[in-house]
A and B are shown apart, each in its own frame.
Chain A
Amino acid sequence: MEHLLSAGDLSRTDAVRILDTAAELAATQGREIKKLPTLRGRTVVNLFFEDSTRTRISFETAAKRLSADVINFAAKGSSVSKGESLKDTALTLQAMGADAVVIRHHASGAPHLLASSGWLQAAVVNAGDGTHQHPTQALLDAYTLRRHLVGPQPLGQDLAGLRVAIVGDVLHSRVARSNVDLLHTLGARVTLVAPPTLLPVGVETWPCEVSYHLDEVLAQGLDAVMMLRVQRERMSSAGGGFFPSPLEYSRRYGLDARRLAALPSHAVVLHPGPMNRGLEISATAADSSRSVIVEQVANGVAVRMAVLYLLLAGGRREDVS
């Protein structure tokens, strides 16, 4: 693995290896936080063109627990505009001797460009690009699903046979794209659930099923349901919005108490955050014992440690444990 740009680039073997490594690294953490010397002297740059304190802190924590030097580089361009040149930034980071660049960008493909342009030598980790991909989110979701739903000995296992519904704004969601790719690779059966306006033309070619009806999908018996954030501005954009009202949206696609009760007892509820309580997810669902949303955050650190470790330490496994 040279870069991590898309969940779709990961083979089953790659993905399971990352999840296993994350599990091993998480085990070293135990109750008290311990720093591993693995990446001492290496420099990880968090290059964020888009605000995301949660993701940035998660990567920063992961890098620091591996003893890497971390530089936060907030190159916050207003929107897509020239002037803030990705190329110039890349050349600067190259001159600074960055070993890995974690990039969050509002333009789909920016991490790909960074990795393929020849502007810098560092390993590139996509921390979310436009409406394209967010592979570490998919990895942490898979890690969370495996911990809860795959036997007492999850190491080496994939997610074969699990049924997962991903519900919400698929059209604008890099989380949905990444999860469809990765969960499919790991053997899970994915169903996307959304109003037709929030599904991209072309979704029919994705390795998943598609439904417009959440209740029908719930009735099929799910192992997990992942609720996507619905941004409120989607209601006021061109053409009168993507759906008529927040109320109608949550009536048809929100995870409320009734739908939560319809899930099998073992099923878990995920959300990549930040949540819109009362819109795509009710407080009852968000705070229920089924919800693994808070745990997703902790798992995010372990998975990102694994990714940085595998990219930068080249997977010399004697360094762990």
Chain B
Amino acid sequence: MTEYLLRGARPLGGEPVDVRISGGVIVALGTGLSDDGAHVVDAQDHVLLPGLVDLHTHLREPGREDAETVASGTRAAALGGFTAVHAMANTNPVADTAGVVEQVFHLGRRAGWVDVFPVGAVSIGLEGERLAELGAMADSEARVRVFSDDGKCVWDPVLMRRALEYVKAFDGVIAQHAQEPRLTEHAQMHEGVVSAQIGLAGWPAVAEEAIIARDVLLAEHVGSRLHVCHLSTAGSVEIVRWAKGRGIDVTAEVTPHHLLLTDELARGYDARFKVNPPLRTQADVEAVRAGLADGTIDIVATDHAPHPVEDKDCEWAAAAFGMTGRETALSVVQHAMVETGLLDWEGVARVLSTAPARIGRVEDRHGRPIAVGEPATLTLVDPAARRTVDPRTQATASPNTPYFDRELPGRVVATFLRGRPTVLDGAPVEQEGASA
């Protein structure tokens, strides 16, 4: 295995050091290290982070390989600086058995771009009626710890309670897509001033907040662990803050798009801005940023949701929900949080690596400290770079980025997975017969 020397990198944005990587681990840290026999990476002024972990992403395989495959999706992830992704269960077939989660796990291994950790469905077929075999998925080779019916809310309070209780046996977590279904029938966008004017059916903030409020109380009652997916409203931040203050074991995530974009973008009826939960108001954007900065919100996860052109190039009401974001997540966080002074690079490492690794129970391999003896699972970023987002040059198989034509800061220069580069000089490093 090739050895690498990162010359002058700034771990977590700190003082520059040289980092030597060999045999999959960091073997030396210091200034003026010898580059003897090593491939040197010029890391001057670049920030070094633990490899990023995406706790919420959609790889679409099996079932919708026209939108994305494990191979294309994980390649995009590596280019975005990720070394691990948790793939949501709403595939076809649904990832509700040990067989399907193992299939996704193996597809991830074969592709070799990142570690793929399948998320298991909470209920059979995401139907919200009967528990899927959570234990079998936990015991499978995929070692599932995160369970979610994402795309659908576990609405039945009894089923939610049982799921929260049941996963305690193997230290699992229920990741809830909080959406009261009756309050959001036919919903198209955030319910408010803009929806009233442009005549699209509203998705009220209360539909998210009511479920989060119920779930934190359930988690408290049964003493279990709850994770709130893609929290999007100021009210949700308040509820999670209150719950944490009470000592409830809840974690929360926000997506990059909810940190930056608002419902005003729906005015042109461009369905690339259609997403679930919907883009909210500027006040909500400010509240989720503040929540992420003060730790109320634990992590940023992409909810990368690829869709082929025909699912977006149509009437808003006919279009699919979802936007891509794996290759832009770090840039959006830099733009919305770092350049606004709300978060430093240590904070970025926390919300995009350490904390998601811990929630997903993969902290033995990901989100590790940058120290000698630790796995060389790392992301090198040039924060001074700027680029204009162009879906045609992205690695994801789908073009539905909401950031088209937008200039964003930062560029992933290199990504290492256990000492092996998946990205070098900003370009993917194709693997030979990869098996990580």
Contacts and interface: CB of A to CB of B under 8 A. Distances in A.
Interface of A: 8, 80-82, 85-87, 105-110, 112-113, 116-117, 129-133, 174, 177, 200-203, 205-206, 238-239
19 contacts: A80-B317, A81-B318, A82-B314, A85-B310, A86-B315, A107-B316, A107-B318, A108-B199, A108-B316, A109-B200, A109-B316, A110-B269, A110-B315, A177-B197, A177-B199, A201-B196, A202-B194, A206-B196, A238-B182
Contact of B268 (A80, A116, A129, A239): A116
Interface string B186-213: 0000011111111111101000000000
B316 A239 contact: no
Contacts of A80: 315, 317-318
Interface of B: 182, 185, 191-202, 204, 268-269, 310-311, 313-318
A203 B196 contact: yes
A116 B269 CA distance: 10
A201 B310 CA distance: 31
A82 B198 CA distance: 22
Contacts of A112: 268-269
- 6 smallest CB-CB distances across A and B, nearest first, come from A109-B269, A202-B196, A132-B199, A107-B315, A200-B196, A131-B199
Given A87-B313, A113-B269, A201 B318 contact: no
B239 to A, nearest CB: 20
A174 B199 contact: yes
A86 B314 contact: yes
Contacts of A200: 195-196, 202
Contacts of B200: 108-109, 130-132
Contacts of A109: 198-200, 269, 315-317
A205 B199 contact: no
Contacts of B317: 80, 106-109, 130
A205 B196 CA distance: 9
A37 B435 CA distance: 75
B185 A205 contact: no
Contacts of A238: 182, 185
Contacts of B202: 200-201
A177 B194 CA distance: 13
Nearest to B318: A80
A80 B201 CA distance: 13
Given A112-B268, A129-B199, A201 B315 contact: no
A241 to B, nearest CB: 14
Given A108-B198, A174-B199, A203-B196, A87 B269 contact: no
B195 A87 contact: no
Given A108-B316, A200-B196, 9 more contacts: A80-B318, A81-B318, A107-B316, A108-B317, A109-B317, A201-B192, A202-B196, A205-B193, A238-B182
B329 to A, nearest CB: 28
Select the residue from B192, B197, B201 with max chain A CB neighbours within 10 A. Answer: B197
Nearest to A116: B268
Contact of B314 (A87, A130, A174, A205): A87
Contact of B195 (A82, A86, A202): A202
Contacts of A108: 198-200, 269, 316-317
Contact of A105 (B195, B201, B313, B315): B315
A131 B191 CA distance: 14
A201 B315 CA distance: 23
Given A112-B268, A113-B269, A238-B182, A85 B195 contact: no
A82 B194 contact: no
Contacts of B191: 201-202
Nearest to A119: B313
Given A112-B268, A205-B193, A238-B182, A133 B199 contact: yes
B322 to A, nearest CB: 15
A119 B199 CA distance: 23
Contacts of B268: 112, 116
A82 B312 CA distance: 11
B410 to A, nearest CB: 31
Select the residue from A109, A112, A113, A239 with max chain B CB neighbours within 10 A. Answer: A109
